[in-house]
Amino acid sequence: MTPTENKSYRIESDLLGEMQIPGHALYGAQTARAIENFPVGRQRTIGSFNQLIRALLLIKKAAAMTNREIGALQADLANAILNAVDDLLANPQPEQFPIHNLHGGGGTSANMNANEVLANLGEEFLGGRRGCRLRLDPNDHVNLHQSTNDVYPTACHMAVLFQWPSLRDALKMLQSALNLSGEKFRHQVRLARTCLQDAVDISFGDYLGGMAAQIGRLTAQIEETVDHLHSVSLGGTICGRTEEVPDAYLNRINSVLASVTDDPLYRPAADLFDAAQNPDEMVAVSAKLDILARSLIKFAKDFRLLSSGPEGGLGEIRLPAVQPGSSIMPWKINPVIPEFLVQIGFRVIGNHAMCAAGLDHGELDLNVWESSIVFPILESMEFLESGITQFINKCICGMEPNAEVNNRNARTIIPMLTRLAREHGYQRVTQVCKQAHNNPDLLKELLLANFGEGGAKKCE
């Protein structure tokens, strides 16, 4: 059907009837229905997640190339789709993907949004007008040998794979920054604490090195979990069934996808029915991000606690002053960067709860809650990258131990008693402690009497 047009809108139709489309829009009737059905308000659209749009476009590119290669799609039509994809990759138009990120329908609206945009842009490349569908159809050509059931889960996997390197780089920078600070302050002693009580003396190199080691370990774990997302369901069309596609397409689509993404690791899922039913590999990534977030919260709270003061707190480290801390109390400086990271951690934990719910509530042959999984993961990665970067630049890099406070705290009684116990035995030192009845001054006298000048000096 040739649409009726005026300066501001055109009319297109789909299964349910006619829809009014903005004249400038590259999308069509199904996207317009999604806009009405899922009002965005001030929330995020799929277009604001550029890695998902990139993934959808590359899938359409791989499909067009494969269909052209096997003779299922005329070369001029396939080339028009390919030109449209390349144009959008080079000149992104996020406003052409205006659907709410949590749209219903298991990703159908997102898939059709991509199909309609590419069909209209390709139609123009072929000499037609957007909305005409005289040469290029979103379903019959752009979506050929595809279903939302295999396209959307694959796009979700790819989007996370695309997003991960930026976060990975931030984590590697964090590990490096912690190691550099640990090396810089390796000779500065500090009082370790267990159960928030005095323990033994260690160095800042020990403490920060432990943080760095965990970040390195978590980064490797996330990397391994993300790598599993190279297993994709293209060719599984409806619920994992392959009857809708020719063998030639099924045998080529994943290798073509690997080529267009320049990533040789893409491979078909071992069982396409499993891939349709179960997004657990995506949720596993979210679970790793949840663990990372909780670990970062711990780091940030440590920095917050160690910098507490300036007079009534621990005051063992000084953090860079980045903004005034009070509208009424002069000279007050708050640890706002660690607090920023803590709250980002809270958000990631909440996002994981949503991802887990998406796994819990899948039914029968297709899990349609992919949107409630992929977008929280992408958002968590964005948040974590931002929080980690600021934590490095405005906290770790300017952090300095307070030598006077740390040296004094490291010479307190518990570390010294631990050394005496190592030399004279735990039970013997404990008997002396019992005689002191929690009186530090009396304890020092008893240590002098029992262990001589060496024991007393250890407790000075």
Pairing of strands 231-232, 267-268: parallel
Q: How many residues does the chain have?
A: 460
CA atoms in the 13 A half-sphere facing the CB of 79:
5
Nearest to 280 by CA among 269, 291, 266, 293: 269
Q: 141: which DSSP letter?
A: I
- For 373-385, b/e burial (b = at least 16 CB within 10 A) is bbbbbbbbbbbbb
207 and 190 in contact (C-beta within 8 Å)? yes
Q: Active-site positions?
A: 326
215 and 167 in contact (C-beta within 8 Å)? no
Q: How many CB atoms lie within 10 A of CB 440?
A: 10
Distance of CA 288 to the CA centre of its chain: 9
Nearest-10 Cα torsion for 257, 259, 261, 262: 150
Q: How far apart are the first and last CA of the chain?
A: 93
Cβ burial of 330 (10 Å; 0-12, 13-18, 19+) is: exposed
Q: What are phi and psi of 333, to 5 degrees?
A: -125, 130
Query: CA distances (Å), 283 to each of 183, 288, 395, in order?
Result: 37, 9, 31
